[in-house]
């Protein structure tokens, strides 16, 4: 059984492609391209399931086209549209404490510098140099916070946890 602390999110299946069972995956991290696993891990109904791929190719810099082993038509492939895709830390060729994209922080738990639980990162806006994360707080409210390596006090990719310096009063503005 694959545990969530053994993998990190690399993307999401966004649509089927053609009639041969290929799918398109929107990537938030391309660390798998230098890795050595012959499978991706899909989250299906909260369970992490390995899917071996026959081949994949880049469509553009954020999208890959994947042909999974045992899926041979559009109908079979369509049931995986919307699934989050993960990759095992153990198969990454690079240092597992370093991820290639800020978007990889989606789903991480956020704690402030005073150890208070802030919430979970539900979105990372990395369209420009000023990275902004959307954090869903336990109350259901969302907060917009800056994300920069200078603001990160602690980070554990396996536990999906980040401890940030949060300016006083910033959470009250949201």
* pLDDT digits 0-9 by tens, 77-115: 999 999 999 998 888 754 444 555 677 788 889 999 999
**CB-neighbour burial class of residue 166 (10 A; exposed 0-12, middle 13-18, buried 19+):** buried
Within a domain: 96 = no
Q: What's the gap between Cα 83 and its chain centre?
A: 11
The pLDDT value given to residue 97: 44
Confidence of residue 144 (pLDDT cuts 50, 70, 90): very high
Tell me the two tokens of residue 159. 């536990």
Task: State the pLDDT at residue 93.
Answer: 55
Instruction: Determine the average pLDDT of the residues in 66-83.
Output: 95
Structure confidence at residue 27 (pLDDT): 87
Residue where the block lists tokens 């069972």: 21
Whole-angstrom distance, CA of residue 107 vs CA of residue 103:
9
If asked whether residues 113 and 169 sit together in one domain, one would say: yes
Predicted TM-score (pTM) of the model is 0.62
Shortest CA distance to 113 belongs to which of 152, 56, 68?
Answer: 152
Average pLDDT of every residue of the chain = 88
CB burial string 113-145: b at 16+ within 10 A, e below: eeeeebbbbeebeeeeeebebbbbeeeeeebeb
Q: Is residue 24 part of a domain?
A: yes
Of 91, 111, 141, the domain-final residue: 91
The alpha carbon dihedral of 39, 44, 48, 49 has a sign of negative
pLDDT for residue 174: 62
Residue 135 and residue 21: Cα distance in Å, rounded?
36
Give percent of the chain above pLDDT 70. 94
Do 60 and 135 lie in one domain? The reply is no
Question: Residue 166 — very low, low, confident or very high, per pLDDT cuts 50/70/90?
Answer: very high
């Amino acid at each position: 059984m694959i545990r969530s602390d053994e993998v990190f999110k690399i993307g999401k299946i966004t649509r089927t492609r053609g009639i041969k069972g290929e799918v398109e995956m929107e990537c938030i991290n391309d660390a798998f391209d230098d890795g050595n696993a012959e499978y991706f891990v899909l989250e299906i109904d909260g369970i992490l399931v390995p899917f071996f791929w026959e081949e994949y190719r880049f469509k553009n810099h954020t999208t890959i086209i994947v042909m999974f082993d045992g899926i041979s038509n559009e109908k079979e492939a369509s049931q995986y549209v919307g699934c989050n895709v993960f990759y095992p830390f153990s198969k990454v060729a690079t240092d597992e404490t370093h991820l290639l994209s800020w978007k990889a922080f989606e789903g991480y738990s956020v704690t402030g510098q005073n150890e208070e639980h802030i919430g979970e990162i539900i979105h990372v806006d990395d369209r420009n140099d000023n990275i902004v994360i959307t954090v869903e707080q336990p109350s259901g409210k969302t907060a917009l916070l800056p994300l920069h390596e200078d603001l990160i006090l602690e980070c554990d990719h396996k536990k999906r946890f980040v401890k940030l310096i949060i300016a006083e009063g910033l959470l009250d503005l949201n």
